[in-house]
Structure 1
Amino acid sequence: MSVANEPSFRESVDLMFNRAVGLLGLPPGLEEKIRVCNATYTVRFGVRLRGEIKTFTGYRSVHSEHMEPVKGGIRYATSVNQDEVEALAALMTYKCALVEAPFGGSKGGLCIDPREWDEYELEQITRRFAYELAKRDLIHPSQNVPAPDMGTGEREMAWMADQYARMNTTDINARACVTGKPLNAGGIAGRVEATGRGVEYALQEFFRDPRDIEKAGMSGSLDGKRVIVQGLGNVGYHAAKFLSEEDGCKIVGIIERDGALTNPDGLNVEDVRSWIIKHDGVKGFPDASYTENGAAIMEEDCDILIPAAMEGVINLSNADRIKAPLIIEAANGPVTAGADKILREKGCVIIPDMYANAGGVTVSYF
């Protein structure tokens, strides 16, 4: 999401990094070494589909190999590009370091809209992408381990693991080449909901400390807090579900691709999720007000705002209108460096993504 005078996502990550290392007093050479991505591989491959050869572009970026394997998701989205993948790989390094998971950071992406292809076609594309990465050791149990991300899930991970196993028939650890697999294919219980669960735990910890609550100008516990969730994908859905079912939060707004739903009495997350799966959007959902301009709902009055979809959704164009006193970054980089400054000056407290959404990589480590 580009806004005039706004740094790119990659520049935003670098600006945040610079601000952090400015407090550490690292030697300049080491600063630069940590900041840059070690390697990025771009792969373009063809797959015969619908009677012709379709060409796809994919990336796998390795930010730091100070510990191996390197770890990080693979996303399927039309917005995927080299800068985005490198920024996400850097965030993975910092995230793993923060939660003390012994991995370097990596990230991958395929420039594709998964909704445009049926399951069989998507499997052909995924297997070919995995083949291109695996033959260069960019998928490898002891060197580079992908995970699900936006647009991918257990199914894609199972295809990738199977493709790797077919290419490495004697590798006893072949299944460990990806995480986020289905349980019946060697996955771990709790991985699907792990990132959303981590968001819930981060908020629970926040509300345990009176100093944190006071800094955000809030009081009491999570019970009854009004929450707006932007993006009801895997992370947003599980975070909203757990917060409403277990902590007494009211999900007063849900923002999706085709607009937003609001209900001051709270939305039933399960019902909304079922509606999205059936109707490919939130429009027409009963028991709620619908707004076509979903992004505007992020500026509505609430206690906690959870951006859980794309990077850069809170930026210079809307930061001064955000009313939430507490933002928890469930997505990667949803608040730009410029917006971060505006929000902090307003007294808004931001729980950063590299801590808040580290539940996924933590369970992957298990």
Structure 2
Amino acid sequence: MENLRFFEQVNLNFDRAAKYVRFTDGLLEQIKGCNTVCHFTFPLKRDNGSIETIHAWRAEHSHHKLPTKGGIRYSMMVNEDEVKALAALMTYKCAVVDVPFGGAKGGVKIDRKNYSSAELERITRRFTFELVSKNFIGPDIDVPAPDYGTGEQEMAWIVDTYKAVNPSLNAEGCVTGKPVGLGGIRGRTEATGRGVFFGVREACENKEDMQALGLTTGLAGKRVIVQGFGNVGFHSVKYLMEADAKIIAVCEWDGAIYNEDGIDIIALDNHRKEHKTITTYPGGTLISDSRAAIELECDILVPAALEGQINGENAPRIKAKIIAEAANGPTTQQAHDIIKDRGALIIPDNYLNAGGVTVSYFEWLKNLSHVRFGRMDRRFEENASRRLLDVMQNMTNRNLSDEEIGKLAHGANEYDLVDSGLEDTMITAYNEINELRKFHDTDLRTAAFISAIKKVGMVYERMGIFP
């Protein structure tokens, strides 16, 4: 089982959940399989004049809803199996949180540290052109987003290249995770980590589940270890720290920082930005073996790096009572069974890191509607609130200060609406899969797959393809 490839691991989880649904084997095979995958090769002229062949992939797992949706990563681990597995997880993730996309994923097999900014731009723009030419990108076809090794800059290059080839009205909707000035949305950068926070918070508010783990309800005082201090890991623990959880260890590829009294995540991030590493941070003890650091005693472990980091070899030594999967596929199936059998609660990736695609959905809607969230009604809400406050002041003979009136009458701006929508999505989805978990006497991962399979299968049935 431990030697299964990533896509096989995903399908094993699918098969475990499939026995709880009523669909035929034929329909289940259709849901499980990857519909389309393309391997691209193209030349890159390096800054020194040499020519290098670049390998890239894009997989569209399910077309039950369009467009398909999924990130593009730059990593030496990228291969066909990985993008198929991640595309499948995107299908199930979108279904769990009721985001109307099919799943997709893409990747370029490079280590971005070995390329200049100009070379990365040429790679990104050429990959975009290849996607366009093979009909693998478009606001109503397939919509990429940032992933490991990519960010706003790459998305800006993608949308600019796409618009040059397809200068249509809705061209900005071809990709999400863009800078705000190019059609992006406020709150997208922190969305995945913010979603992780909402999901963990909701789990920790469940009194019955916390009692079973020997923990009190709420986040206050809970000891947290995070593996991976990129965008997702940083924002996940930043919000947990602000909710009075105690971040006792941060693990990166070159070492970990440990402090039982808690680490100031903002100070650590500032140090990392200045020194390009966390290992010299003075506010904790350096642990050179970062993989061993995730085995320390804690209440919540947040794996926010790459897949397969918790496996059959190290799972028996993982002491965390809650595993909050901020990364995609961080826990192998064998490790999942080991951790589950000792009574820990695993909050699975196919629910917990759905914040990114949820806010990407909001960005896509914004691009298609061509209206910033809050633009139509924010001032109306503020004026209505001010009129109500004026009436209350007259009735109570109390005069509020301008600052108090400003806070009380505040109308929702774009970030407020995005954050509210994300919070509602994560809370609703968690309660749904937790009810399925208890109804079927299973775990949250299997419950999330049950939820996703039912929702995707019902779409196929309603289309009349599988009566």
Q: TM-score interval w.r.t. the shorter chain? A: over 0.9
8 Å contact 2:303–2:324 — kept in the other structure? yes
Deviations 1:96-127 (A, max 9, x none): 11111110000000001111112121111111
Matches within 5 A, 1:7-156: 7-49=4-46, 50-156=48-154
Give the Cα–Cα distance (whole angstroms) in 2 for the partners of residues 5 and 194 of structure 1. Answer: 32
Q: Which residue of 1 aligns with 2:305?
A: 309
Instruction: Compare 285-294 and 154-163 and name the one that shifted more.
Output: 285-294
Aligned residues: 361
Query: Within 5 Å, which residues of 2 pair with 1:270-289?
Result: 270-289=266-285
Q: Determine what percentage of the aligned residue pairs are the same residue.
A: 49
Residues 192-229 of structure 1: CA distance to partner in whole angstroms, max 9, x if unpaired?
Answer: 00000000000111122212212333113200110000
Q: What are the ranges of 5 or more consecutive residues in structure 2 without an aligned counterpart?
A: 363-467
The TM-score normalised by the length of structure 2 is: 0.76
What is the Cα deviation at residue 5 of structure 1?
Answer: 4.2
Is 1:323 matched with 2:285? no
Residue 234 of structure 1 corresponds to 231
Match of 1:335 among 306, 326, 331: 331
Q: Which amino acid aligns with 1:291?
A: I
Q: Distance in 1 between matches of 2:86 and 2:2?
A: 21
Cα contact 1:94–1:354 (8 A) shared by 2? yes
**Conserved 8 A contact 1:68-1:104:** yes
Residues of 2 paired with 1:129 and 1:18: CA distance? 34
* 1:233-272 equivalence runs, <5 A: 233-245=230-242, 247-272=243-268
- Residue 8 (structure 1) shift: 2.1
CA distance in 1, matches of 2:2, 2:86: 21
Match of 2:216 among 214, 219, 236: 219
Decide which of 172, 197, 205 is 2:202's aligned counterpart. 205
Task: Give CA-to-partner distance per residue, 1:54-97, whole Å, 9 cap, x none.
Answer: 11100000000000000000000111111011000000000011
The separation in 2 between residues aligned to 1:353 and 1:198, in whole angstroms, is 11
Is this contact kept in 2: 1:6–1:316, CA < 8 A?
no
Q: Aligned partners of 2:214, 2:28: CA distance in 1, in Å? A: 35
Residue in structure 1 matching 2:353, options 330, 338, 357:
357
Normalised by the length of structure 1, the TM-score is: 0.97
Is the CA contact 1:215–1:349 (under 8 Å) kept in the aligned structure 2?
no
1:313 and 1:335 in contact (8 A); partners too:
yes
Q: Secondary structure at the match of 1:260?
A: strand
Instruction: Name the Cα RMSD after superposition.
Output: 1.1
- SS of the residue corresponding to residue 45 of structure 2 reads strand
One-letter amino acid matched to 1:161: V
* More helix by percentage: 2
Q: Which aligned runs of 4 or more in structure 1 are off by greater than 4 angstroms?
A: none
2:94–2:100 contact (8 Å) kept in structure 1: yes
Preserved contact between residue 252 and residue 267 of structure 1 (Cα < 8 Å): yes
Is 1:346 matched up with 2:339? no
Distance 1:243 1:321 in 2: 24
Matched position secondary structure for 1:147: coil
Pick from 267, 284, 289: which aligns with 1:293? Answer: 289
1:35 maps to amino acid: K
